[in-house]
Amino acid sequence: MELNIGDKAPEFEGKDQQGKTVKLSDYRGRKVILYFYPKDDTPGCTAQACNLRDNYSDLQQEGYEVIGVSTDDEKSHQKFISKFELPFTLIADTEKQIVEQYGVWQEKSMYGRKYMGTMRFTFVIDENGVIQDIIKKVKTGEHSGQILAK
């Protein structure tokens, strides 16, 4: 199922880097940047996370909460957050439930080899839980600008 702008964002529940349960409904009344990325501490994912970190106060001034989701585990997220001083929540979707709900678990291809993996997509969700934007062509080093330009 492909999600579109104007759709209600699927409710999800997952564990953050501290093992605490996080649900989308916890953020009702606030705007959410829900970004999906393939892997902690890889060049593209680090550039994207650091760009969001560096512009975090601007995003918060616009009323956004930032939540990152990957299939890495809590321990991996803890290291990633600590190493790069990330100020936002990362969800460990090790069971791949959230990536599947949002349609970002897709077939990928590298060096002619096909495999399943997380697409680098961002969903901008309004205060009522409605998808306002979907960014599928993420520029990792300029991602905050892509969000704020909307």
The vertex-40 CA angle with 122 and 115, nearest 5°, equals: 75
Catalytic positions are 45
Secondary structure, 3-state, the chain: CCCCCCCECCCCEEEECCCCEEEHHHHCCCEEEEEECCCCCCHHHHHHHHHHHHCHHHHHHCCEEEEEEECCCHHHHHHHHHHHCCCCEEEECCCCHHHHHCCCEEEEEECCEEEEEECCCEEEECCCCEEEEEECCCCHHHHHHHHHCC
